Chain A
Amino acid sequence: MAANVSLRNVAKHFGAVKVVDNISLEIEPGEFVVLVGPSGCGKSTTLRLVAGLEQISDGTISIDNRVVNNLAPKDRGVAMVFQNYALYPHLTVRDNISFGLRLGRMSKADIDAEVTRAASILELGPLLDRRPSDLSGGQRQRVAMGRAIVRNPSVFLFDEPLSNLDAKLRTQMRAEIKRLHSRLRNTVIYVTHDQLEAMTLADRIVVMRGGVIEQMGTPKELFDAPVSSFVAGFMGSPPMNLTPCSVVSNGDATSVTLGGTEKLSLPPAAREAINGTEQLTFGVRPEDIRLQPREGTQPINGLVELVEPLGGESLVHVRVGDDLFVMRAEGRTTVESDRPITLHLDMQRIYLFDRKGGRRVYHDMEATS
C-alpha cells in the first residue's frame, strides 16, 4: 500500500548550522522521487527526517495524511535501505531479512512466508542460509532490500544504496530497483549524488543545494529547462558546457563573446530576455554541438585538447580561448588531438544564466519541447 508524503516548511539545524532550510515537498502515493545534490546539500538529512532518525527543528512531516513529527521510526510505516547495507554480520540472510518481523513477534509461519516472498522477488532463495560476509556487494544490497520489503512499508527510503557498488553492478542494481518499484508500486524516496541514477530511476527529481530545494521536476524538465546554472551543470553526463561570456550590442544586433575571441549572434528572443544584463553565463549541452553546420548553428573555432572514445560515441574536449567545451561525436570519429577544429553550436538550444545569482534568463523552451 503506497502512501503520500508531505514535507511542509521542514528545517533541521545542528546548533547554528542549518542543514535543511525550510523545504516543502509533496510526494504522491506510488511516486518515485529522487533527492539529488552534491555532498552536504542536506539530501540524506531530509531522508533521515522522514525516517524519524533525526528530529526536525521546524515544520511538519506527514505520511499517509498523518503528521509523524513525534512518531518513532517504527510507527511511520517506512523501511530504509542504507548505503553500507547495515546487515547484521552475525545473522544469516534469512535472519537478517526477518529481523524486524521477529521483533514484532510475528508467528514463525508468517515470518517464513514473508521471507520466502521477499527471497523470490529478489532471487535470494539459494543464499538464505549464508552470512553477509559470504555475499558479494550486489547480493548484500539485495538482502538489505529484502529486509525492507518484508516490512510491507508504505514508503521505501533509499540512502545512496548503490554508491558502494562497482559501475557494472550499479547499472544492474539500478534496473532491479526500477523493476521492484514497477512491481510493488510503493512510494519511494531515493537519495543519491549520482545524476545518472536520478535520471534513470525517478518519476520526479528534487535537486538540493545548501539545504534548500533548487528545483524539482521530471528528469526531462530538469534536463531541458534547468532554472539555474547549478542545476544545468549538475544534470547530464557530461554536464552542460557553462562558460562566462560578455555581451556586445551593436545597433539591433547583440552578440556574446566566448573564450575572449569567438563571437556568436544571439537570437532576437534572447536579446529581449537578457534586457541589458552584461554579466552572463553561456550554456550549451554537449549534444547540441556539432561538427557539421546545420540550420540555426553558428561556428566557433578551437583546438582539440582530448578525445575520449567511449565505444558507441566519443567525447571531444575542445579549447576555445580560455574556455573548454565538451561535445559528443561518433564512436568512430576521425577527430584527433592537437588539431584545429570548428564547432557548430545549435543557437536554438543555448542557455543564458545571470552570472551573479545563477538564475536562467534565457532558453527557447519550444526548441527543446
Chain B
Amino acid sequence: MSGAIESPATFVKQPVRASKWGEVIETMRRDWMLYAMLAPALIWFLIFMYKPMYGLQIAFKHFSAFKGIEGSEWIGFAHFMTLFHSDQFLRAISNTLVISFYSLILAAPVPILLALMINEVHSKGFRKTVQTVLYLPHFISVVIVAGIVIAFLSPTTGLVNTALRALGLEQVYFLTRPEWFRGIYISSGIWKEAGFDSIIYLAAIMGINPALYESAQVDGATRWQMIWRITVPCILPTIAVLLVIRLGHILEVGYEYIVLLYQPSTYETADVISTYIYRLGLQGARYDLAAAAGIFNAVVALILVLTANKISRRITRTGVF
C-alpha cells in the first residue's frame, strides 16, 4: 500500500526538480549577454574579496612568511588579546568613532541643505553652474585634494596663514597640531563630497508632486513654510535610509586620505583603525596582527550594517537587503 503511494510522489518530484534546473540553464542560455556583462564584477569579487578570505586564518596563527599560511602554528585569540591590550589600537578605535560621529553629525546635513538650496534656484543657467561647481570636487583624486589642503594650510605660503599674518596674528602649522586634524579632515571631506551627495536628495525633491506646492501656495504658505512643511517631510524617508546606511559604515574611515594628511605628531587624533592596520601590516610586516585588527573591524561593521538595516526597515519600511 505504502509503495503504491510513494511511487507516484517520487515520479512527480523528479520532473519538477529537473525542470527547475532546466529553467535556470535555459535562462542563462537566453540571457548569456547579461551574464557575460556580470562576469567581470563577479571575477573581481572572487579574486579580491573572497579569495583573500582564505588568508584571514593568519589572524589566529603566529604567521611566518617562511612557513606559509598552512605551516604557521595556531595561537587562537592571542593577537586579539594583544590588540585589546594595545593603547594604540584602542586609540584608533576611539578616533575612528569620533571622526565618524562628527562626520555623521556635521557632514550629513550639508548635502540636504545644498539640495534644498539648489531646488530654490529658478534660473536654469545659474542652477546648472551651481550644480557643476558643487559636483566637481567629487571627481578630484584624494591625492590632489590632500595636496590642495596641504598647500592651503602651509605655514609659509598657505592662504590661511598668509591671511593670519596679514591680520597680525600668529601663523599656525595646522597639519602638525592634533587639535586641528579632525576639523580639517571633516571640512575638506564635506567640500569634496557634499555636492555630489546632494544629487540623491535633489532627485528625491524632484519626485515630490508639484501640486503639493501649488496647493500650499493657494493656502498661503511662504517659500520657507513650503520647505519645512512639505519638502523636508517628503524627503524624510530618503534622509532616514541614507543616515542609517552611513551609521552602518561608521567604522569605515577611508585610510588613503588620512594617510596623506596625518603625521606622527597628529596620530593622537588622526590614527584610525584602517591607518593602524596599514602601518602594522604593510609598514611593520605584522600581517597576523593586522589581519586580527581587520577582522575585528569587519565584524563590528557587519553588526552595525545589520542593525542599521533592521532599523531602516522598521522606520522607513525600506532596507538595503
Q: Which residues of A contact B (CB under 8 A)?
A: 51-53, 72-74, 78-80, 82-86, 88-91, 99-100, 103-104, 147, 151
**B contact residues, range:** 10 to 19
Asked whether, in the complex, the Cβ of A74 is within 8 Å of the Cβ of B211, the reply is no
Asked whether, in the complex, the Cβ of B218 is within 8 Å of the Cβ of A74, the reply is yes
19 contacts between A and B (CB under 8 A): A51-B218, A53-B214, A53-B217, A72-B217, A72-B220, A73-B218, A74-B217, A82-B214, A82-B215, A84-B211, A85-B211, A86-B211, A88-B230, A89-B234, A90-B236, A91-B233, A100-B218, A100-B219, A151-B219
Known: A86-B211, A90-B233, A90-B236. A99 touches B218 (CB 8 A): no
**Which B residues between 64 and 86 are near A, CB-CB below 8 angstroms?**
none
Does B212 count as interface, using CB distance less than 8 angstroms? yes
Asked whether, in the complex, the Cβ of A53 is within 8 Å of the Cβ of B218, the reply is yes
- Chain B residues, CB < 8 A from A84: 209, 211
Closest to A148 in B: B218
Asked whether, in the complex, the Cβ of A80 is within 8 Å of the Cβ of B215, the reply is yes
- Chain B residues, CB < 8 A from A99: 216, 219, 229
| Whole-angstrom distance between the Cβ of B5 and the nearest chain A Cβ | 49
Residue picked from A86, A104, A147, most chain B C-beta under 10 Å: A86
Asked whether, in the complex, the Cβ of A78 is within 8 Å of the Cβ of B218, the reply is yes
Complex CA gap A74/B216 in Å reads 9
Asked whether, in the complex, the Cβ of A104 is within 8 Å of the Cβ of B236, the reply is no
Q: Which residues of B contact A (CB under 8 A)?
A: 209, 211-212, 214-221, 225, 229-230, 233-234, 236
Closest to B221 in A: A103
| Whole-angstrom distance between the Cβ of B218 and the nearest chain A Cβ | 4
Asked whether, in the complex, the Cβ of A100 is within 8 Å of the Cβ of B220, the reply is yes
Asked whether, in the complex, the Cβ of A104 is within 8 Å of the Cβ of B220, the reply is yes
Closest to A82 in B: B211
- Chain A residues, CB < 8 A from B218: 51-53, 73-74, 78-80, 100
| Whole-angstrom distance between the Cβ of A323 and the nearest chain B Cβ | 43
| Whole-angstrom distance between the Cβ of A287 and the nearest chain B Cβ | 39
| Whole-angstrom distance between the Cβ of B182 and the nearest chain A Cβ | 35
- Chain B residues, CB < 8 A from A90: 233-234, 236
Closest to B215 in A: A86
- Chain B residues, CB < 8 A from A86: 209, 211-212, 214-215
Closest to A90 in B: B233
Complex CA gap A315/B225 in Å reads 54
Asked whether, in the complex, the Cβ of A103 is within 8 Å of the Cβ of B225, the reply is yes
Closest 4 CB pairs of A and B: A74-B220, A100-B219, A86-B211, A86-B215
Complex CA gap A100/B218 in Å reads 8
Asked whether, in the complex, the Cβ of B211 is within 8 Å of the Cβ of A73, the reply is no
- Chain A residues, CB < 8 A from B215: 80, 82, 86, 147
Closest to B218 in A: A73
Other than A53-B217, A88-B229, A103-B221, give 16 A-B pairs with Cβ distance below 8 A. Answer: A52-B218, A53-B218, A74-B218, A80-B214, A80-B218, A82-B215, A83-B211, A86-B209, A90-B234, A90-B236, A91-B233, A100-B219, A100-B220, A103-B219, A103-B225, A151-B219
